[in-house]
């Protein structure tokens, strides 16, 4: 899968990912202790929905623009995060995970961003100028392990790779296994695309074999039946999600499914535990 985020910013996957990221961090912030927030594949941090790349795919029309047209109040936090980087009612800029995490920071929290791509990290440094974020340009999987356990003890690692390499899932699986040994109580959010059920089922089985006790999967299937050879949706694996997050998840997922369903489809968002 060839994935440059400038082509896909604000799509349905972003809406789900960022809605759940906001809910996850806020659930952890119900405790006063500081959090270390680590984004291993940070990207550019901010995207122009009017750019040639974004206009070529027009994926924002099926994502953030649908979310803004929807009236469900459960999406208010997500819409507010997008609106914070825009002037006017309709979004023209889209905040990546680094920008959204910056909005969520409390004085006691720490944000660490990593982006290996030379052009993207240059843009990221400009977008983050004036913030307290630490920015690295390293191999994402090496950095993931090197920073664990974080000094604060509590935190979230966000893993959002482009899946351009054929061994991407294998590297995630092996790194997650090692990370869990170093930081068993840590929270990790892993984004993935859904192209076909067979590939995803094999990976899910590999993750199940890791024996991680609390591994939640969320899958957002856009269409009512699998569409061969195309993008069918996306999802998240979340390690150690807090109780406050999982309790509020079902109505939020239903609101997202309803807002993002393509014309003529109901779509489906499911969440359950990957049993050990």
* Residue positions annotated with a catalytic role: 160
Residue count of the chain, please give it: 276
Neighbours of 263 (CB within 10 A): 5
Q: Which of 47, 42, 37, 52 is nearest to 11 (CA)?
A: 47
> At 114, which helix (H) or strand (E)?
strand 110-114
* Cα dist from 69 to 59, 140, 250, 259, 272, whole Å: 15, 36, 21, 8, 29
E strands within 120-248? 134-136, 155-159, 187-194, 215-221, 233-239
Contact 24, 241 (CB under 8 A): yes
């Amino acid at each position: 899968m060839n994935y440059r985020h400038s082509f896909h910013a604000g799509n349905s996957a972003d809406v789900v990912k960022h809605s759940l990221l906001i809910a996850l961090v806020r659930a952890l912030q119900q405790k006063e202790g500081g959090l270390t927030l680590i984004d291993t594949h940070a990207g550019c941090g901010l995207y122009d929905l009017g750019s040639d790349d974004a206009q070529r795919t027009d994926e924002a029309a099926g994502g953030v623009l649908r979310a803004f047209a929807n009236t469900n109040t459960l999406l208010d936090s997500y819409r507010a995060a997008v609106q914070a980087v825009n002037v006017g009612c309709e979004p023209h800029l889209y905040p990546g995970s680094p920008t959204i995490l910056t909005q969520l920071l409390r004085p006691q929290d720490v944000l660490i961003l990593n982006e290996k791509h030379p052009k993207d990290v240059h843009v990221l440094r400009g977008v983050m100028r004036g913030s307290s974020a630490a920015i690295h340009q390293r191999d994402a999987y090496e950095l993931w392990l090197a920073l664990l356990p974080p000094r604060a003890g509590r935190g979230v690692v966000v893993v959002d790779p482009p899946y351009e390499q054929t061994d991407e899932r294998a590297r995630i699986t092996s790194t997650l296994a090692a990370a869990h040994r170093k930081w068993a109580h840590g929270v990790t959010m892993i984004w993935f695309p859904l192209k076909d059920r067979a590939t995803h089922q094999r990976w899910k089985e590999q993750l199940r074999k890791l024996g991680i006790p609390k591994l939640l999967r969320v899958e957002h299937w856009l269409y009512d039946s699998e569409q061969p050879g195309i993008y069918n949706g996306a999802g998240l694996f979340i390690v150690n999600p807090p109780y406050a997050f999982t309790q509020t998840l079902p109505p939020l997922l239903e609101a997202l499914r309803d807002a993002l369903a393509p014309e003529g489809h109901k779509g489906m968002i499911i969440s359950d535990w990957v049993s050990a």
